[in-house]
Amino acid sequence: MRRCLVLGAAMCVWEDIEAALKIGEYDAVIAAKLAGVAWPGELWAWYSLHPEWMPDHRQRRQARGYPEPREVVANTKGPGVDRVLEPKWPGQVRSGASGMYAARGAILDGFDRVVLAGVPMLQQVGRIDGRKGWASAKTYQGPVMQARHHMAEKVRSVSGWTMEIFGAPTPEWLRG
């Protein structure tokens, strides 16, 4: 059973990580967008639906002395992008946000258990870049619902709307 912790950029990411680590251990950490700048540890992969921002994000991570990610994955080619991966599941009209893209990548990379931390997908939750909320959160909820059946058995979340949709992880579920 391979377990992955996927980090999003919501302000709750640090308390979500703490909650996720109390549940169990993970074989890898994957970050979405700005979470890769903030996370000081190793990254299995770093995902973004905005490859144009990745050179700046990578420089910021390097300036902090954090280890290079194993790979950077984006939906299109760009400077510093190691792999291009389609962000949508079959049947999706539009992709979910970067955190859900990272969860998709984790599943396609063979992780059996994917725990979302900092991916509540709520409008009122601030972000680690200082924004007070995420006005377009609801825009991405529909695409997540379209793809839910692809992820339902393998994804859980420790907070917010995604926890309501996928359920909360438990130690038993994480162990498989």
Write phi, then psi, for 81 (nearest 5 degrees).
-90, 125
- pLDDT recorded at residue 30: 98
- pLDDT recorded at residue 93: 85
pTM, two decimal places:
0.96
Determine the Cα–Cα distance for residues 133 and 104; give it in Å rounded to an integer.
24
Task: Report domain extents, the chain.
Answer: 3-175
Residue with tokens 């900092």: 118
Structure tokens that stand for 57 in this block: 């994000």
Domain over 3-175 is classified CATH 2.40.50.140:
no
Determine the Cα–Cα distance for residues 32 and 120; give it in Å rounded to an integer.
13
- pLDDT recorded at residue 133: 76
The SS3 of residue 31 is strand
- pLDDT recorded at residue 94: 87
Q: What is the mean pLDDT of each run of 10 residues along the chain (176 residues)?
A: 96 97 98 96 97 95 97 95 95 89 97 97 82 79 92 97 97 95
